[in-house]
Structure 1
Amino acid sequence: MGSTGATILSTADVMPAPRPPRNPFRGLSRRARIGIGSALALVAAVIAFLVIFDWNWLRGPIGRYASAQLQREVVIAGDLRVHPWSFSPKAEAYNLRIGQPAWAKTVDKDAGQMAQVQRIAVQIKILPLLKGDVILPFLAVDKPIVRLLRDKDGKANWTFGAAKSDKPLKLPAIQRFVINEGQLRVDDRQRGALFVGTVNAQERAGDKGGRFVLEGKGSLNKSAFVAQVTGGPLLNISPSRPYPFDASIQAGSTKITAEGNVTKPFDLGRFETQLSISGADLNRLHDLTGLTLPNTPPYKVSGHLVRKGDRYDFEKLSGRVGDSDIRGDLFVLTGRERPYLEADLRSRRLDFDDLGSLFGAAPATGRGETASTGQKVEAAQRDATQRLLPDATLQVDRIRAMDAKVTYRADTVNAPNLPLRKVSADVVLEKGVLTVDPIALTFSRGDLKGKVRLDARTDTPKTDIDVRLLNARLEDFIPFKTDGKPAIEGTVLARAKLTGTGNSVHRAASTADGSVTLVAPKGQIRQAFAELLGVNASKGLILLLSKSNKETPVRCAVADFDVKNGVMTTNTLVADTGVVLAKGRGTVDLRTERIDFRIAGDSKKPRLVRLFVPITIKGPLMAPKPGLDASQAVGQGGIAAALGSLINPLAALLPFVTTGEAKDADCAGLVSEARQQGAPVKVAQTTPAKAKK
């Protein structure tokens, strides 16, 4: 073949040769290249350091720093492990010990360590942290032993530095929270509460993808205590979304249930919940709440509770206390020297015996009445001993521990044997002084109004009472009738002004000084009863037996007492009727709750038969017994002969004939003689005048 003259080219001749890789440092100055190289070397050194670093070297510095911040010894006695290679780094500390503050040993010599933790592990997300959100994917505490202590002055070992002991707990959002085999002891000597128990917390499988459960059980002041808090799944928890929870607490007879939301997990200073509380006595809530609440019969109340920092609002409260309904609103402010409670409460129907519990007395315990087991025992003891004034000790330390302002109104009142229609009271508690001003009881006719002041700033409180009964009616308080006709009618007025010292109603009454005055300026009484005031046996008994409704006027009646060291002694005791003038004397001993009266009457008209025998009224205040003074009857032939004279011949009755020499009593004079500070009115002989202070 002949040559074509074609030239064959190789691949090397066609494709250009590859360029050498570009030097990233090309164009940089030598100084810049040295700087970048040094930085990379430093990063490599840090990485190498972290790989080979023993984190236990930091246990001492961390412990010393924490000790300085917490003002008590902090020691990491076990390993300190850190896993930094993640966007959610993790740290673990073993055998962590936190000591008690220096003052704790003076309060409890067996205080030991404040906290001991076998292991604590925590994990934190880095990226949300850059935006200011703290999210912990994992927090576990294994076998913690925690001893919390607060002294009577409010100093608490969980207070660090200048922080307040009642500052709300704020935790970050925790997506997995575990407490294993925790032991907790809370000794709160300010509230008089002691809890010893166990605590566990973990996520549990179940409906709706599982739930978080925090449980505690043990004893609170020797009563069984059980608490459980359940919440929604923690996995998707976010600081920007409310976290739902349910809670159930039982401490002895007290039960609390709640269903609500933590507004910003886990900031326990902001939440709202529908709350229900029941128990044997509101006063027992002190151990759980720190609030000084009154003694009451068994109760059950509910409402909407909202917490915003130091303020708790209990809105639309409703329920029952004893046999009385209750409704209203209240709020509590904490973070102060003393908690402050303000409430506006009302009852549509108040069962009057429920008020007795406020003063330490047991409520009624008959059929249909509401009372706790303990109150039934107290009522039985009261009835057995025939004691009226309760001996329940006033807890003065609790009264000094909070301030309050409460208004209460009862629209209607159930008060058998009393013409009571309404009750109202305005209560102020400030710095250990409790004032009820005014306290008002509205009867079907008339009012009882006044002021009560209890000064509990000392261990032996002082009580001042000043109350007045105005424009009431005798027939409302003495409801005895025959053939539908009241035995006695008329206006009655009264005033009691007393001062006593003691830490119970009975002890305060036993030391009382002051005055008590009752006045009936005008009225009507069945003549039969008026005759019996003079023990006119023939006339009075005949009228009674014949059921006579014949009346005679009550021109005036005055009972004026001087009170000294718990003993009421008569200054004036006179009842002036149209047919008999009765005068008496006697005492009411509030120390022993016994009365001793002697009343002698003299007929204003000549009577053929007149038993000149004074009436006596003696015995326990709750069950006095009337009788006749036998010594006087004996002087006239003996009491048996006197009573027998009703059927003996006329000659045997002659020694008992009276000539009717008694004159009308001067009512205006009698009232004037009664001390002006005791007498609530100034009256003319037969007509009431204007009230006088």
Structure 2
Amino acid sequence: MGSTGATILSTADATTAPSPGPKPPRNPFRGLSRSAKIGIGSALALVAAIIIFLVIFDWNWLRGPIGRFASAQLQREVVIAGDLRVHPWSFSPKVEAYGIRIGQPAWAKSVDKDAGQMVQLQRIAVQVKVLPLLRGQVILPFLVVDKPDVRLLRAKDGKANWTFGAPRKDAKPLKLPAIQRFVINDGKLRVDDRVGGALFVGSVNAQERAGERGGRFVLEGKGSLNRSGFVAQVTGGPLLNITPDRPYPFDADVRAGSTRITANGSITRPFDLGRFETQLSIAGADLNRLHDLIGLTLPNTPPYKVTGKLVRKGQRFDFEKLSGRIGDSDIRGDLFVLTGRERPYLEADLRSRRLDFDDLGSLVGAAPATGKGETASAGQKVEARQRDATQRLLPDATLQVDRVRAMDAKVSYRADTVNAPNLPLRKVSLDLTLDKGVLNLDPIAFTFSHGDLKGKVRLDANPAVPKTDLDVRLTNARLEDFIPIMSDGKRAIEGPVMARAKLTGTGNSVHRAAASANGSVTVVSPRGQIRQAFAELLGVNASKGLILLLSKSEKETPVRCAIADFDVKNGVMTSNQIVADTGVVLARGRGTINLDTERMNFRIEGDSKKPRLLRLFVPITIEGPFMAPKIGLDASKAVGQGGIAAALGSLVNPLAALLPFITTGEAKDADCAGLVSEARQQGAPVKTSQTTPAKVKK
């Protein structure tokens, strides 16, 4: 009973006793020292104070310190004249600044007194994602710029107002962060590049446009480039989903005057503008006009269109698998350009399957042919009409020496075939180097049906007046290749010919350099055959020559030697020797060629080697402009022998007028070997053995 009652009592007590409640929370500060508690409390209070401070803080208080810091870093005045607003409570904090001004560097006023401010912005708003920033990626959810007015200036010495601090030759290409919304409202842009001679004034806008495939990003620029209309549009996919590790596709269309550039490509890592690739098409009236857009010195050309793949890797641009047409010539090859140097460097390997020869003349400023089927720009057609009207051959286009000094180059060009009416030209090859303002064409080679014209040209553009040195040789050529075919399908003259021209001139155009030239020119034909009719007429043998011509005689006589050797001084070529020794006539001449006025004045007198019944001692004259010389007779010398009228009359009424014209053939063979040795040693490379007379055809 006792134990049972005890048990019952115990159970009752357990049933009626209250159950224990939840344990009270543990005090996190239990066990901490008093000083530790004070420190934690102070930290929490500081965080709370910072939060309260950020909420009530007026960010405009920082405009002055930020402006002074930026001014020191950029070395020019920077001012935030309007509000500065910061919205930090987000994983994508936002900053807005109003009324920003960035001044010009100190030197700008001396270059352009109206330079004004470099940058003025009504507002700029930018937002950045914090979490990607912790991984080293900069992603801007949006960037908005309202009414920017930007004035960029580069002086002739290369100083640019967009370069902050000391100029660096190895400056890296522009690299922008990934921007998922980019807006430019009512932008104005002025770019004055005194180095490249380019002036752009216009507007810039950027925005997203609704449309297919979720819309497109569009960046537009409009205005004038060197007083010619300019329109540029760059479009790309929606920016919203852009990431730094995925290529961003884009299209571009640029029109500047007569030049048009279209591109379809992608930026490898948005928006690292130092790495992209694109299919590029360029068309225009003259390759030289690309200088305003790309800053490279390219030759003058007829209208062109070329395409290829453009790849940029940092400071290197590769234009791969270039193909297209320049004038009426095809062109293909590869080229690359290196920037980030004291002067840009271009290297190219180019080839034409078929070169239209007049297109090559554009390189030295000559207008191409403008006849039916020929390609020429409107300006080149005007130049061609002026050339024809003035009967001037040497081009007067001014060499752009500043551009020649501003870049370096190495170019190899080959033409497999050549279309050159009236010339037996088959191939052309040129190797060009441009280094520190000195241009060398070495070698320059023209391959004819027979023979070659090879040599070198050196142009030094560093002096105030450029200096040109030319040294070219014609070897193993044939006279018949350069003489028009007669109506009966035969050549009037045949035989080898060789020549050399060695000249030095000063001037900033081909014409001016020629007008001041000094040096020598020699042409030699050591042997050959000539229609006897023409040989007789060199001596103005009226009876024999005209009868043979009228009878269409094909009878030939040997050419034992023909030489034309000139001294050139101050642009005037004065003959030392002009001799043509044929089997029937020995002709000698003298005269001048004025490279400034482009006129010639020659007098040729011939002596028959055999007795002739009728012989007019009348010198032949060749006078007038290069493009239209006139051949005549000096009639005054025939007056004592009955005059030209009487001589011509003798053809129909011979006997009474024959006797005064009888010659006994006192002229002897010219000493061809001696004449060659008398020709300048630096003249045509002729061996004495080459002057052996050819066998006379029976």
Normalised by the shorter chain, which TM-score bucket?
A: over 0.9
Alignment partner, residue 135 of structure 2: 131
The question of 1:31 aligning with 2:15 is answered: no
TM-score of the superposition, structure 2-length normalised?
Answer: 0.96
Alignment partner, residue 309 of structure 1: 314
| Equivalent residue in structure 2 for 1:452, among 427, 450, 457 | 457
Are the structure 2 counterparts of residues 275 and 688 from structure 1 closer, same or farther at C-alpha, using a change threshold of 3 Å?
A: farther
The question of 1:501 aligning with 2:506 is answered: yes
Q: How many angstroms does 1:681 deviate by? A: 1.2
Alignment partner, residue 42 of structure 1: 46
- Do the aligned residues in 2 keep the contact of 1:667 with 1:685 (CA within 8 Å)? no
CA distance in 1, matches of 2:458, 2:112: 37
- Do the aligned residues in 2 keep the contact of 1:454 with 1:462 (CA within 8 Å)? yes
Alignment partner, residue 214 of structure 1: 219
Alignment partner, residue 119 of structure 1: 123
- Do the aligned residues in 1 keep the contact of 2:262 with 2:281 (CA within 8 Å)? yes
The question of 1:466 aligning with 2:464 is answered: no
The question of 1:52 aligning with 2:48 is answered: no
Alignment partner, residue 97 of structure 1: 101
CA distance in 1, matches of 2:340, 2:139: 28
The question of 1:267 aligning with 2:276 is answered: no
Q: How many angstroms does 1:7 deviate by? A: 10
Q: Deviations over 1:81-133 (max 9, x none)?
A: 00000010000000000000000000000000000000000100100000100
CA distance in 2, matches of 1:43, 1:211: 44
Alignment partner, residue 299 of structure 2: 294
CA distance in 1, matches of 2:184, 2:198: 24
- Do the aligned residues in 2 keep the contact of 1:185 with 1:197 (CA within 8 Å)? yes
Are the structure 2 counterparts of residues 685 and 252 from structure 1 closer, same or farther at C-alpha, using a change threshold of 3 Å?
A: closer
Q: How many angstroms does 1:680 deviate by? A: 2.2
CA distance in 2, matches of 1:164, 1:271: 23
TM-score of the superposition, structure 1-length normalised?
Answer: 0.97
Alignment partner, residue 75 of structure 2: 71
Alignment partner, residue 344 of structure 2: 339
| Equivalent residue in structure 1 for 2:364, among 335, 359, 364 | 359
Alignment partner, residue 141 of structure 1: 145
Q: How many angstroms does 1:277 deviate by? A: 0.3
Q: Name the amino acid aligned to 2:680.
A: R
Q: How many angstroms does 1:14 deviate by? A: 4.1
Which secondary structure state, in structure 2, belongs to the residue aligned with residue 458 of structure 1?
coil
Which secondary structure state, in structure 2, belongs to the residue aligned with residue 529 of structure 1?
helix
Q: Name the amino acid aligned to 2:183.
A: V
| Equivalent residue in structure 1 for 2:188, among 183, 198, 210 | 183
| Equivalent residue in structure 2 for 1:604, among 604, 609, 615 | 609
| Equivalent residue in structure 1 for 2:110, among 106, 113, 116 | 106
Q: Name the amino acid aligned to 2:106.
A: A
Q: Name the amino acid aligned to 1:311.
A: R
Q: Deviations over 1:285-312 (max 9, x none)?
A: 0011110000000000011111111110
| Equivalent residue in structure 2 for 1:281, among 278, 283, 286 | 286
Q: How many angstroms does 1:167 deviate by? A: 3.8
CA distance in 1, matches of 2:462, 2:602: 38
Q: Name the amino acid aligned to 1:586.
A: G
Q: Name the amino acid aligned to 2:192.
A: D
Q: Deviations over 1:616-661 (max 9, x none)?
A: 0000011101000011122322222222221224121211111111
Which secondary structure state, in structure 1, belongs to the residue aligned with residue 195 of structure 2?
coil
- Coordinate RMSD, CA, aligned: 1.7
CA distance in 1, matches of 2:534, 2:17: 149
| Equivalent residue in structure 1 for 2:676, among 664, 671, 674 | 671
Q: Deviations over 1:469-518 (max 9, x none)?
A: 00100000003235332111000000000000000000000000000000
Q: Name the amino acid aligned to 1:391.
A: D
Which secondary structure state, in structure 2, belongs to the residue aligned with residue 507 of structure 1?
helix
Q: How many angstroms does 1:11 deviate by? A: 9.8
CA distance in 1, matches of 2:152, 2:220: 18
Q: How many angstroms does 1:688 deviate by? A: 9.1
CA distance in 1, matches of 2:233, 2:333: 29
Alignment partner, residue 524 of structure 1: 529
**Percent identical:** 84
- Do the aligned residues in 2 keep the contact of 1:517 with 1:680 (CA within 8 Å)? no
CA distance in 2, matches of 1:673, 1:76: 84
| Equivalent residue in structure 2 for 1:593, among 594, 598, 603 | 598
Alignment partner, residue 550 of structure 1: 555
The question of 1:638 aligning with 2:643 is answered: yes
Deviates more, 1:550-559 or 1:630-639: 630-639
Q: How many angstroms does 1:152 deviate by? A: 1.1
- Do the aligned residues in 2 keep the contact of 1:682 with 1:688 (CA within 8 Å)? no
Q: How many angstroms does 1:168 deviate by? A: 1.4
Residues 286-435 of structure 1: pairs in structure 2 closer than 5 A: 286-435=291-440
- Do the aligned residues in 1 keep the contact of 2:187 with 2:204 (CA within 8 Å)? yes
The question of 1:161 aligning with 2:165 is answered: yes
Which secondary structure state, in structure 2, belongs to the residue aligned with residue 681 of structure 1?
coil
- Do the aligned residues in 2 keep the contact of 1:667 with 1:684 (CA within 8 Å)? no
CA distance in 2, matches of 1:213, 1:21: 61
The question of 1:443 aligning with 2:445 is answered: no
- Do the aligned residues in 2 keep the contact of 1:391 with 1:507 (CA within 8 Å)? yes
Alignment partner, residue 481 of structure 1: 486
Q: Deviations over 1:321-362 (max 9, x none)?
A: 000000000000000000000000000000000011000010
Q: Name the amino acid aligned to 2:145.
A: V
Are the structure 2 counterparts of residues 508 and 280 from structure 1 closer, same or farther at C-alpha, using a change threshold of 3 Å?
A: same
Q: Name the amino acid aligned to 1:562.
A: D
Alignment partner, residue 539 of structure 1: 544
CA distance in 2, matches of 1:305, 1:347: 21
CA distance in 1, matches of 2:383, 2:432: 27
Q: Please, which runs of 5 or more residues in structure 1 have no aligned partner? A: none
Deviates more, 1:161-170 or 1:378-387: 161-170
Which secondary structure state, in structure 2, belongs to the residue aligned with residue 486 of structure 1?
coil
Q: Deviations over 1:378-414 (max 9, x none)?
A: 0000001100001000000000000000000000000
Deviates more, 1:47-56 or 1:642-651: 642-651
Which secondary structure state, in structure 2, belongs to the residue aligned with residue 596 of structure 1?
strand
- Do the aligned residues in 1 keep the contact of 2:285 with 2:377 (CA within 8 Å)? yes
Q: How many angstroms does 1:52 deviate by? A: 1.1
CA distance in 2, matches of 1:637, 1:528: 23
CA distance in 1, matches of 2:37, 2:159: 61
Which secondary structure state, in structure 1, belongs to the residue aligned with residue 412 of structure 2?
strand
Q: How many angstroms does 1:679 deviate by? A: 3.0
Q: Deviations over 1:575-605 (max 9, x none)?
A: 0000000000000000100000000001101
CA distance in 2, matches of 1:24, 1:120: 48
Deviates more, 1:515-524 or 1:15-24: 15-24
CA distance in 2, matches of 1:548, 1:505: 44
- Do the aligned residues in 1 keep the contact of 2:416 with 2:428 (CA within 8 Å)? yes
CA distance in 1, matches of 2:390, 2:82: 66
Q: Please, which runs of 5 or more residues in structure 2 have no aligned partner? A: 1-7
Q: Name the amino acid aligned to 2:630.
A: K
The question of 1:82 aligning with 2:73 is answered: no
Q: How many angstroms does 1:35 deviate by? A: 1.7
- Do the aligned residues in 2 keep the contact of 1:616 with 1:627 (CA within 8 Å)? yes
